[in-house]
Structure 1
Amino acid sequence: MSDAGVTTVSSNGVYAFTKPNRDSITLLAGLGVEGDVHAGVTVKHRSRVAQDPTAPNLRQVHLIHAELFDEVARAGFDVVPGALGENITTRGIDLLALPTGTRLHLGAEAVVEVTGLRNPCAQIDTYRHGLLKQVLGRDEDGRLVRKAGIMSVVLTGGEVRPGDPIRVELPAEPHRPLERV
């Protein structure tokens, strides 16, 4: 994972499925991406707000691995960074294999802590019909595998840019596998 890095950063100040790519984003400790509609101490995703608007925001920063775009391209889907609403697109790190509580050091200052898996929703099929089936799979035991990235909270703020390195800091064992948040 020594070659792990940020390929793209994205944010959007309004509710929309996709997020425009930026030259940089600023992460704010305890809040998320400055100026992003999902930033805040309490949950901001519409479906979660409807359930409990006072719930803590465990989905402040959404990360997706660029390798997913490569995978869906082989199935005929053209998906670019930011298109699935992620804030940070990575390459060279198996995000889905990280345990809960992993800390990702992004660039010179920013640190996020992994809280869980993104649960892909039907909006993905609105973006590209049939894509939802590509970002959901089954493991050898028939269990559902969510491939649409991971969610995190910001521990230490800072600016994040394409080309920034990512350093992985695993939590103490025993490791807990990622679950849907």
Structure 2
Amino acid sequence: MAKVLSINISSKKGIPKDPIEIGEFMENFGLKNDSHGGDWHRQVSLLGQESIEKIKAMGVEDLTPGRFAENITTEGIKLYELPIGTRLQIGDTVQEVTQIGKECHSRCAIFHTVGDCVMPKEGIFTKVLKGGIVKAGDKIEIIK
């Protein structure tokens, strides 16, 4: 079963995010009070624990949720294999996949801290179609 492991937030872009108990996701914005929120196509970032484990296997320790600046850390779903346009029910929200990975223009704080980054290859971005609450343990379902 695909599920949410952690909700993560930061007040500035390009830095790791800190876990929070409950995330309030706003329609056409993203995570309330998060630096990446706004009326654009990359409102929410998601990264699978499975991707994080790949970096851990390279000998990097202390990779807590949010370390790659993802808003939602997931488990049990290969996010990067989802086609653009896929709709996901995550907690109370409905989100649509808008982008797989991203170009890493400059080596951000995350790259310098961790030594590599899986976000550009395996992280995904979504737009919030229906707002609501998301918390750790919530199911992630693909809407057919």
List alignment gaps of at least 5 residues for structure 2.
none
How far did residue 71 of structure 1 move? Answer: 1.4
Equivalence for 1:146: 121
Counterpart mapping for 1:111-130 below 5 A: 111-119=94-102, 121=104, 122-123=107-108, 124-129=110-115
More strand by share: 2
TM-score by length of 2: 0.90
Q: Deviations over 1:41-64 (max 9, x none)?
A: 1xxxxxxxxxxxxxxx11100000
TM-score by length of 1: 0.73
Structure 1 residue runs of 4+, over 6 Å off? Answer: none
Relative distance call for 1:120 and 1:21 in structure 2 (3 A) is farther
Out of 155, 158, 181, the residue aligned to residue 132 of structure 2 is: 158
Q: Deviations over 1:152-173 (max 9, x none)?
A: 1000000000000011125xxx
Give the distance between the partners of 1:59 and 1:15, measured in 2 at CA: 12
Pairs aligned (count): 140
Q: Does 1:103 align with 2:87?
A: yes
Amino acid at match of 2:34: D
Larger RCO (CA under 8 A, 6+ residues apart): 2
Equivalence for 2:23: 25
Counterpart mapping for 1:161-180 below 5 A: 161-170=135-144
Equivalence for 2:51: 68
Equivalence for 1:35: 33
How far did residue 118 of structure 1 move? Answer: 2.7
Q: Is the 8 A contact 1:69 1:80 kept in 2?
A: no
**CA RMSD, aligned part only?**
1.6
Q: Deviations over 1:71-121 (max 9, x none)?
A: 1111111222101111000000010110010111011x2011000123252
Identity %: 34
Amino acid at match of 1:101: G
**Structure of greater Rg:** 1
